[in-house]
Structure 1
Amino acid sequence: MSSHLPHPSIPTRVVLLSGPSGSGKSLLAARSGLPVLRLDDFYKEGDDPTLPLVEGSTDIDWDHPLSWDADTAVAAIEELCRTGRTTVPTYDISLSARTGAETLRVEPTTVFIAEGVFAAEIVSRCRELGVLADALCLTRGPVTTFRRRFLRDLKEGRKSVPFLLRRGWRLMRLERSIVARQTELGAHPCDKGEALGRLAAAGAGHAAGATA
Structure 2
Amino acid sequence: MSSLPDISPSPARVVLITGPSGSGKSSFAARSGLPVLCLDDFYKEHDDPTLPLVPGSRDVDWDSPLSWDADAAVRAITELCTVGCTDVPVYDISTSSRTGTSRMDLDGAPLFLAEGIFAADVVRRCRDLGLLADALCLRGSPTTTFRRRLARDLREARKPVPFLLRRGWRLMRTERRIVAHQVDLGAYACGQTEAAARVAAASDHQAPEGSRA
Smaller-chain TM-score bracket = over 0.9
Residue 113 of structure 2 aligns with an amino acid whose one-letter code is: I
Distance in 2 (CA, whole Å) between partners of 1:25 and 1:114 is 10
AA paired with 1:199? V
Q: 1:76-130 CA distances to partner (integer Å, 9 max, x unpaired)?
A: 0001100000000000000000001000000335100000000000000000110
Q: Counterpart of 1:210?
A: none
**How far has the Cα of 1:39 moved from its partner?**
0.1
Q: Give, as a single letter, the amino acid of the residue that structure 2 aligns with 1:69.
A: D
CA contact (8 A) 2:110 2:206 kept: no
Is the aligned partner of 1:113 residue 2:113? yes
SS at match of 1:75: helix
Q: Report the counterpart of residue 12 of structure 2 in structure 1.
A: 12
- Please report the RMSD computed on the Cα atoms of aligned residues, expressed in angstroms: 1.4
Q: Verify the 8 A CA contact 1:13 1:81 in the aligned structure 2.
A: yes
1:48 pairs with 2:48:
yes
Tell me the CA shift for residue 29 of structure 1.
0.3
Q: Which residue of 2 aligns with 1:39?
A: 39
1:13-58 CA-to-partner distances (Å, cap 9, x unmatched) read 0000000000000000010101000000000000000000000000
Q: 1:86 corresponds to which letter in structure 2?
A: T
Alignment of 1:155 with 2:167, yes or no, is no
Tell me the residue number matched to 2:89. 89
Q: How does 1:173-188 map to 2 (within 5 A)?
A: 173-188=173-188
SS of the equivalent of 2:112 reads strand
Whether the 8 Å CA contact 1:20–1:179 is kept in 2: the answer is: yes
Rounded to whole Å, the distance in 2 between the matches of 1:57 and 1:98 is 25
Preserved CA contact (<8 Å) 1:5 1:128: no
Structure 1 position 202, deviation (Å): 1.1
Query: What TM-score do you get using the length of structure 2 for normalisation?
Result: 0.94
SS in 1 for 2:20: coil
Task: Check whether the contact 1:11–1:109 (CA below 8 A) recurs between aligned residues.
Answer: no
Deviation at 1:141, TM superposition (A): 1.5
The percent of aligned pairs where both chains have the same amino acid is 65
Q: SS of the counterpart of 2:205?
A: coil
Counterpart of 1:187 in structure 2: which amino acid? A
Q: For 1:205, what is the secondary structure of its paired residue? A: helix
2:79 paired with 1:79: yes
One-letter amino acid of the counterpart of residue 85, structure 1:
C
Query: After superposition, what is the alpha-carbon deviation per residue over 1:151-177, rounded to whole angstroms, capped at 9, x for unaligned?
Result: 000000000110000000000001000
SS at match of 1:10: coil
SS in 2 for 1:87: strand
**Alpha-carbon shift at residue 5 of structure 1 (Å):** 4.3
Structure 1 residues 110 and 50, CA gap change in structure 2 (3 angstroms): same
- Which amino acid in the other structure matches residue 147 of structure 1? R
Specify the code of the residue in structure 2 equivalent to 1:40: D
Following the alignment from structure 1 to structure 2, what is the Cα–Cα distance between the partners of residues 141 and 42? 27
Write the mapping of 1:57-76 to structure 2, written as runs, cut at 5 A: 57-76=57-76
Q: Hey, what's the Cα distance between the residues in 2 that align with 1:161 and 1:4?
A: 40
Cα distance change on mapping 1:10 and 1:3 into 2, 3 Å? farther
Query: What amino acid is the match of 1:74?
Result: V
Instruction: Kindly indicate whether the alpha-carbon contact (under 8 Å) linking 1:39 and 1:119 is maintained by their aligned counterparts in 2.
Output: yes
Measured in 2, the distance between the counterparts of 1:3 and 1:49 equals 23
Deviation at 1:140, TM superposition (A): 1.4
Matched AA of 1:24: G
